[in-house]
Structure 1
Amino acid sequence: MIFQRDALSNVICNIRIPNGSNEEVGTAIFIEKNNEPYLLTASHVVQNINPQTYIVLADQKGIPTKLLLSTLLGGASFVNHNQADLAKVKIPITPSNQSFLQGRCFPFNQIDTSNNLISKDVELTTIGFPLGLGSVGAKFSPLSYRTYAAAPTITLPRFDNKVLCDFIILEMPSIGGYSGGPMFDLGYMITGMMSQTKEKTLLHGIVHGTISDPTGGKLAAITPCKYLDGWL
């Protein structure tokens, strides 16, 4: 199945963690495997969740809708990957969350859990909520950016706990709030009047963070979905 960028807005949500006068913000994606819904994000996004944590997602009219995370999860808890910056939770379907989950999940069979390296010629799209933008106001409008892999695999210490992990490095930087968001090969590319279409949209990774140096250079680090193989 090919997903347009607008349609992919429906499979993600903004996670907001109230912390005093501020809010920590991040992104997560709804996944469906064997007809069971999951919420997938970066583990560092949800490490400080509290009872006031809530998500913002689009209703059927594209209007931002708030939902307490505890209501969505129905008592379930996140499980962290033992190496990669990934956190998952299987969502039990309850009367309180059933309507929110209807038609919202990205199919697991369109996640690339292989060890195959992404070509540097493939256009990639990351979708999320940098600085929390896109989840407040009259319309739900997560931000997307298009880029390419600068390196399909680089081993680096994770930014949060220094555990060595493989990453996909993008030519463009990330921004706070994108963490936990998905990175897709949409399966199509439009160049001028020409459109190239593949078999389906693929999820390749989850945003980890930004590599930067004192010169101002920045690159995004993406946790590849190969870490989901056998775990999700």
Structure 2
Amino acid sequence: MLVPSSLSGRPSLRVGLGSLLLTTLVAAAACKPNNPPPETTANPPADDSETPDAPPTAERHPAVPADHPLHDRFEGTSFANACSADGDCKKGGCSSEVCSAEEGVITTCDVPLVSLPGGTECGCVEGQCQWWNESGDTLPPADTPPGTDCGGQPCAPPNECIEYYGIAGPSGPKFFACAIRCQPPKRSCPDGMHCVTIADGPGDVCQPDDEPS
């Protein structure tokens, strides 16, 4: 008796072989090592917690040595000098030769014997208003002519050294002015000068005609 091919068992054999092959492929894939992740060339995110170092600041050298005969005049040691920033420091005096923390400093209008080196500025150095520069150059030595030392500045005739107190009176610092005394409006002043009154200062003294009264 003939058995139909659909009942012979061959189709079942083919199905069994197919299942075995599929199982083998799945097992092989499971055993294959994972590929490493692709390398990236993107830059890592910036760390906002890190800040770059501040640029170096210029080193400041005092321009007027403490032992210079004109130190007190240029540095205004009789005036307020404490500071925390350059904006606290002011230039004052008749020739803007004084560096201090005080507004409206008044000095006599005699010409200083020496000049500050080029590039010198009035600013805050170590908590004090001082003349300074980056080069380290200092005020040249002053050849003091014969005369009286007047608060750190030379004073020779016809000028005289005038001592006085400021607005604070005797309880405040003492000031010095090398000037010619006079009586308003012009008496006793040399040619080219006029008599002015400096309140809370040396009083009636002669000043050059080209200087404001």
Q: TM-score scaled by structure 2?
A: 0.27
Whose strand proportion is higher, 1 or 2? 1
So what's the TM-score if we normalise by structure 1?
0.25
Larger helix share, 1 or 2 = 2
